[in-house]
Amino acid sequence: MVYQNIAGHPVLFGIAGEKNSGKTTLMESLIRILTGRGFQVAAIKHDGHDFEADREGTDSWRHYQAGAYASAVFSSGKYQLVKNQRGTKLEELTAFFPEADVILIEGMKDADHEKYWCCDPKELPDAEKLADRIEKKIRKERSQMMELETLMEKIQLPEEGRNCAGSFPMTETVYQNWKNLFYEDTKTFFEEADKRKDKEQFYLCLYLRLACDLYPAFIEKGISDRVYFDTFYDLTIWYRRCMKTKGIPGIVEERWLSLQLQMKIFRLGRLQFEPDPENKVLHVHIPEGEPLLDEECGKSFAKADRFFGPEYTMYDCESWLLSPKLQKLLKPQSNILKFQNRFEVEKIIYPFRQAEERVFGEIREDKENYPEQTSLQRAVKQLVMTGEDVGIGYGVIYRNKL
């Protein structure tokens, strides 16, 4: 699942002590408290003796008794694995819980991770205070993540948007629940989130926090801060669109923006690239808001050639910018035509009024009301007034030809 691939490293904290010293009782209290605070908690128990993990008579027990060196049982919601293996290392077990905020480990008194030592079951510590100590460790780990204020500054989110995100009511528990749903069941996530009357503000606040939490994954993959901030500048683009079309702070195009939060789209300079491993294609997208300078586009393709592996054989793009009809509307030195000429345009799709939306900011039924402030607006308006459609072109660039 995507969430597992992008989660940070869990904090390890141990509860050790002699036999019957209250270790399990303290573990139970900590699990309840930390879970109640919205953290995902995993638990590992070290047994100094051999143990039976299954109940006699169950199917999995019978498999094991028949001679299987490993036995697993699973359902739609959980699984259990029993395996004969000598010399099991703690890091092998913690690897099963990459999505956890903290892994509590009972036993293993000689391990290197921080731990609390239990001496007497009647003298256990205040579990709330110990949970505070563990929470500080979690937040210290998260301190390597991006601070919300820093992200908003770097992506140039307007002040009204910053105030909206900073004041939006969302507790840690609520945030963690939405985060889990986003990465585990995207369909249900959008169904539930779309019911909110404040969905524009909700998506802005949630997506900013998700982007902050994603920062360590960019670092781990060796992706620069520049690419990280440029990628999430899309939040600002769609914030501005929300203000323009709805007059309220927030974001629109939340499904599109979810791709950046799944590390499925990266902005490299002027252009965005969406890797498609199955088809070995890099889909090219053009963010709005800046001139489509030919030199900058060339730099973006050069960056993409270094950023993505050789297994991707071509770039493709589906956009009104690739419509052959623009060849008759625009001058040869037009940046749009220079961009289009990079591709081998293979087809054009009708009817699709994407050009009107992008050029004029909205689609109007009365085309006479379209503005004519730029040469591009005048050219496109002249075409659509005749009843024609610019359409969408589809083109490809084979990487070995760049």
Q: What is the pLDDT of residues 179-191, one digit of tens each?
A: 999 999 999 999 9
What average pLDDT score do residues 130-158 get?
86
Q: In which band, very low, low, confident or very high, does the pLDDT at 296 lie, cut at 50, 70 and 90?
A: very high
Give residue 19's Cα distance to chain centre: 44
pLDDT for 377 equals 77
Select the more confidently predicted residue: 28 or 355.
Answer: 28
Task: Compute the half-sphere exposure of residue 322: CA atoms within 13 Å on the CB side of its CA.
Answer: 22
Identify the band that residue 144 occupies on the pLDDT scale cut at 50, 70 and 90. low
| Average pLDDT of the segment spanning 257-267 | 97
Q: Which two tokens stand for residue 325?
A: 């009809």
Residue with tokens 């071509």: 314
Q: In the prediction, which pLDDT does 278 show?
A: 95
Contact 125/26 with Cβ under 8 angstroms? Answer: yes
Class of domain 269-402: alpha beta
Residues 6+ apart with CB under 8 A from 122: 22
Domain range summary for the chain, segments of one domain joined by +:
2-142, 145-264, 269-402
Please check whether the two domains, 2-142 and 269-402, share a CATH topology.
no
Nearest to 206 by CA among 182, 239, 232, 242: 182
Residue 1: pLDDT band (50, 70, 90) is very low
Residue type for 185, please?
Answer: D
Average pLDDT over residues 302-310: 91
Count of positions (residues) in the chain: 402
Please state, for a pLDDT cut of 70, what percent of the chain lies above it: 93
User: Assign residue 82 a region: left if phi > 0, alpha if psi is -120 to 50, beta otherwise?
Assistant: beta
Instruction: State mean pLDDT over 17-40.
Output: 89
pLDDT at 216 over 90: no
CA nearest to 322, candidates 336, 301, 335, 334:
336
Quote the pLDDT of residue 6: 41
CATH architecture, range 2-142: 3-Layer(aba) Sandwich (3.40)
* Total Cβ atoms within 10 A of residue 135: 18
